[in-house]
Structure 1
Amino acid sequence: MSNEGAQKKGFFLRMLDNVERIGNKLPHPFMLFIYLALGVILLSWALSSLNMSVIHPQDGETVSIQNMVSLSGLEFILSSMLDNFTGFAPLGLVLVMMFGIGLAQKVGLIETFMKKTILNAPVRLVTYVIIGVGVLGNLASDAAFVIIPPLAAMVFYSLGRHPLAGMAAGFAGVGGGFTANFLITGTDALLSGISTEVAQTVNPDLVVTPVDNYFFMAFSVLMLMIVGGWITERVIEPRLGKFNDKYADPDTISQTAEHPSKLELKGLRNAGIAAAAYILLVAATIVPPNGILRGEEGTVVPSIFLSNIIPIILFFFIIIAVAYGVTVKAITKTADVPEFMGSAMKDMSGFIVLIFAASQFIAYFEWTNLGTFIAVTSANGLEAINFTGMGLIVGFILLGAILNLFIFSGSAQWALMAPIFIPMFYFLNYDPAFIQLAYRIADSSTNIITPMNPYVPMVLAFMKKYDNRAGFGTLFSIMLPYAMSFLFIWIAIFVVWNLLGIPIGPGITPGL
């Protein structure tokens, strides 16, 4: 039995090696996005020549493929180039967050924190904690993509483990578990709002609330931690082998795993005091029923706090970094703060260049309506197959997972799919909240392997700091086991949950 298992594992690892080898033969990521943009231009010309179009399921309007090989297409390419780049949301988010995180790293706070806490933590729990924090990090929205993967890599490196495995675990938690949480988040409110609007077209009394998927999503956090931890330690780390710092950026691996000095511990204590004071200050604005950062109706979801979580996190990192830096005398004058921030920005130069090309490709894909065309055509095709029962629902999940490779925005994809599938499943006696839950499984699972994920270039840029040979093939071969495991285990749990009739939320069962 053990030999048979070894052979199966060997075959799987060889398959991942082939994925990495083929993927790394792709051009440099910058050029790859350029080629993809050219491909979108040519495909839009071919499909528009055939007068291809679809009926948008939400508003009933005809959506035609827009031809980029035209005067209007040329005008869009020229007029939108700067806006595509400067208006690319992840660009500002990443750079702004790196002001704070980079400052904390340059003054030595992050290194000291890891040496004090992670090195003394039970080694067996580190992987699972990283994935769990990544899953719960979706409360901070997309900021979690920026914070957790690089920090996880540093944690693993400090423990003598392969940093790319740590980064993979962090990215898997944030991306693969983006829709799960122990708390009610903005995602719950956003998706349930779309579901309610669509459901009331067939029954005005139907309402999907933000808590209707809570039981299943809360349980999913534990599943993702266990499965993600197992994949990291039993598949990813053995495959990566021993870390070779020959190909790493010297500045990135300059951190040591030695215990902090007394002065560093004092700095860490002062940073902790500053962090506690800041958290109490923020809590005073959201905990009281009349808190100033609550929503208009006194809600936390949605609220001013959640919609502005990024600057709140930025100020947190700046405050604790300054408290630490002043204590350890890394910061001796006010000019040191912007200098450290500028130094951190130098490390992001490769990411900025890559984003220029990626932003053009994504903008072209959206302008041509190719994403809408692919989503609606595929959804209609699945409906025409005439599946019934759980077979149809599983097919729906698989379709959603595939479409997520083309449309990264979860709300945009759900706005396309909900008008088709919520009414269809309603007449099969399935609660809209149950169908929404199926969609959330699909949307989360393949977040970490889609090239449409705007944070993939960022993760790749961080990977290259530890291994300059890394390319898209490396990233996708590492993340593929997580994506496939999350998807199929999630589906299995979903089916069993349905068969047992367990509520997926307060008072919500699969059937109406």
Structure 2
Amino acid sequence: MNGMVTSPEEKISNGGFLKKLEIMGNKLPNPAILFLILIAILAVISAILSSLHVTAVHPMTHKPILIKSLLSQEGLHWILTEMIRNYINFPPLGMIMVLTLGIGLAEKVGMMDVAIKASIHSIPKKYVTFAIVFISFMSHLASDAAIVVVPPIAAMLFYSLGRHPFAGFAASLAAIYSGFTANLLIVTTDVLLSGITTQAAKIVDPNAVVTPIDNWYFMSFSVFYLSVLTTIITEKFVEPRLGAYKGIKEVTLEKPSLQQMNALRATGIAALIFIAILLVMLVPEGAILRNPETGAIAGSPFMKGIVPLLFLFLLTLGLTYGLKSGSIRNADNVISMMSESFKGLSGFLVMAFAIAQFIAAFGWTNIATLVATSGAEFLQSINMTGLPALLCFMLFGQFLGLFTASGSAVWALLSPVFVPMFMLLGYHPAFIQMAFRAGDGSLNTIGIVNPFLPLFLEGLGKYKSDAGIGTYLSLMVPYAISFLIMWYLLFIFWYLTGWPVGPGAPQRLW
């Protein structure tokens, strides 16, 4: 193919200053190593503060807060006796592992890929841009796999319609990457972040729980809001600037086969049956999945069991599609596919170990409570306890996000400080998590540390042989800036309305 002249590595080497930034960013350690380093630093700081007898008064219990040293005998005993418990009890660990079984099966049988292609092929031309963006948001269900699969398909579709493929690629990538975690469904990121937030919230309130659906109102609304605006940005600004496409004409968008489409229809029927059964068990008064004490949905087995229910839903879809399409022939195939999906969890399992130890140690030393209390008192002393404080927190999280490819790692770093601090100012932990999510994603496409950059350049290279980092950035910077503005405006609007961020999750605790 005449467009594939330069390799991704050669393209990156032409980045100049941006290449230097990339090299600097790549020198940052892996998130797991980073948190192990932070634990070592925390140990030293805890020893110093403990020796100086630094204390504070807890604003809720009015008891003195004493710093405990990790380098003391007590600290050593805590590390040895609690290390395994810290890991096993890390809230996201079990939830992510269970969900991976369901998502992994759906992906391995080919359901995800066929569903995306089938949806794209059935879209009327005038709604293509909006549909591409909307599907890209919904593709978060496939986690990082969406970044690999959907933008190239969007580029192919735009090309097949005589439109510039870069516009399709960029619009899809922006929705997935800059609109990260905005979805109508509960995805793995909801589970991961809520688990980290729960752990941090327990520093102030041992009974605090943030569920995966506690940001659902905000994240669902953002899908439609961002889809409409991203469509306008693409069709009115980005695509006209690109002009008519003149280049390679050898890229085709493969249509699903008849067998795949029949399997997809059967899967849709299975999904409807599952949802219908679930509604029967939830909607009627006194239904089995309602709260047995109050009869409400709040605090019900349905709310507490959303992850197992989502797993069963995905398992149903994956099994139906696999059996109907022929990709599953026996039970061994199912186990093999699930086992294969777990291989992709290895990095998360290692990172989760380090994060779990850091958060637990941060809480045990009482440094998290000290910092949160001091921070809350400082913000109150300068009368900065409302929207300005939240916006500064969002900007700080976004700044850190430029230097790491893992948003969950940034949240694991920030949550032990900012969740307790804002809780002491009266904010619900789910609302604080929402503020982080609104501020975290917009600049993902131009982040300094981007492990997918060579993949993106290769995708663009299929349509323009000399596409390099400059091409990529000139394409994505307008989206990054637009999403930055759109996310912040949405957050400010939500804050001013006082709307809850999810079912049973108000903005404030009091």
Common fold, TM-score beyond 0.5? Answer: yes
Task: Note the 1:31-180 alignment, pairs <5 A.
Answer: 31-121=33-123, 122-126=127-131, 128-129=133-134, 133=138, 147-148=142-143, 150-151=145-146, 153-160=148-155, 161=169, 165=174, 167-173=176-182
Distance 2:229 2:372 in 1: 29
Runs of 4+ in 1 over 6 A off after TM superposition: 13-19, 213-221, 227-237, 402-412, 435-438, 477-480
User: Kindly tell me: are residues 33 and 298 of structure 1, through their superposed partners in 2, closer, same or farther at Cα, counting changes over 3 Å?
Assistant: same
Contact 1:104/1:317 (8 A) holds in 2: yes
Alignment correspondent of 1:336: 333
User: Kindly tell me: are residues 59 and 90 of structure 1, through their superposed partners in 2, closer, same or farther at Cα, counting changes over 3 Å?
Assistant: same
Distance 1:489 1:483 in 2: 10
Q: CA deviation at 1:21?
A: 4.7
User: What code does the residue aligned with 1:123 have?
Assistant: V
What TM-score comes out, normalization by structure 2 length? 0.64
Distance 1:62 1:230 in 2: 55
Q: Deviations over 1:250-300 (max 9, x none)?
A: xxxxxx941111111111111111111111111111111221101232212
Distance 1:235 1:369 in 2: 51
Gapped regions of structure 1 (runs ≥ 5): 1-12, 135-144, 198-212, 238-255, 423-434, 451-458, 470-476
Aligned residues between the structures: 406
Contact 1:382/1:395 (8 A) holds in 2: no
User: What code does the residue aligned with 2:129 have?
Assistant: R
User: Kindly tell me: are residues 301 and 438 of structure 1, through their superposed partners in 2, closer, same or farther at Cα, counting changes over 3 Å?
Assistant: closer
User: Kindly tell me: are residues 273 and 460 of structure 1, through their superposed partners in 2, closer, same or farther at Cα, counting changes over 3 Å?
Assistant: farther
User: Kindly tell me: are residues 109 and 493 of structure 1, through their superposed partners in 2, closer, same or farther at Cα, counting changes over 3 Å?
Assistant: closer
Task: Note the 1:227-376 alignment, pairs <5 A.
Answer: 257-296=253-292, 297-376=294-373
Distance 1:348 1:236 in 2: 36
User: Kindly tell me: are residues 337 and 298 of structure 1, through their superposed partners in 2, closer, same or farther at Cα, counting changes over 3 Å?
Assistant: same
Q: CA deviation at 1:361?
A: 2.2
User: Kindly tell me: are residues 226 and 301 of structure 1, through their superposed partners in 2, closer, same or farther at Cα, counting changes over 3 Å?
Assistant: farther
Q: Secondary structure at the match of 1:54?
A: strand
Contact 2:177/2:442 (8 A) holds in 1: no
Distance 1:288 1:396 in 2: 43
User: What code does the residue aligned with 1:262 have?
Assistant: L
Aligned-residue identity in percent: 27
Q: Secondary structure at the match of 1:259?
A: coil
User: Kindly tell me: are residues 234 and 57 of structure 1, through their superposed partners in 2, closer, same or farther at Cα, counting changes over 3 Å?
Assistant: farther
Q: Secondary structure at the match of 1:173?
A: coil
User: What code does the residue aligned with 1:281 have?
Assistant: I
User: What code does the residue aligned with 1:29 have?
Assistant: P
Q: CA deviation at 1:229?
A: 7.0
User: What code does the residue aligned with 1:356 have?
Assistant: F
User: What code does the residue aligned with 2:95 have?
Assistant: L
Contact 2:136/2:146 (8 A) holds in 1: no
What TM-score comes out, normalization by structure 1 length? 0.64
Q: Secondary structure at the match of 2:284?
A: coil
User: What code does the residue aligned with 2:153 have?
Assistant: S
Q: Secondary structure at the match of 1:67?
A: coil
Contact 2:362/2:368 (8 A) holds in 1: yes
Distance 1:25 1:231 in 2: 35
Distance 2:430 2:94 in 1: 31
Contact 1:130/1:173 (8 A) holds in 2: no
Alignment correspondent of 2:12: none
Q: CA deviation at 1:148?
A: 5.0
Q: CA deviation at 1:126?
A: 4.0
Q: CA deviation at 1:101?
A: 0.9
Distance 1:318 1:171 in 2: 24
Distance 1:45 1:234 in 2: 58
Q: Secondary structure at the match of 2:266?
A: helix
Q: CA deviation at 1:46?
A: 2.0
Gapped regions of structure 2 (runs ≥ 5): 1-14, 156-168, 206-214, 240-251, 398-409, 444-448, 459-475, 501-505
Distance 2:344 2:351 in 1: 13
Distance 2:360 2:234 in 1: 34
Distance 2:442 2:263 in 1: 39
Distance 1:483 1:370 in 2: 35
User: What code does the residue aligned with 1:159 have?
Assistant: A
Alignment correspondent of 1:489: 489
Q: CA deviation at 1:305?
A: 0.8
Contact 1:153/1:166 (8 A) holds in 2: no
Q: CA deviation at 1:402?
A: 7.1
Contact 2:53/2:66 (8 A) holds in 1: yes
User: Kindly tell me: are residues 443 and 300 of structure 1, through their superposed partners in 2, closer, same or farther at Cα, counting changes over 3 Å?
Assistant: same
Distance 1:64 1:25 in 2: 37
User: Kindly tell me: are residues 374 and 361 of structure 1, through their superposed partners in 2, closer, same or farther at Cα, counting changes over 3 Å?
Assistant: same
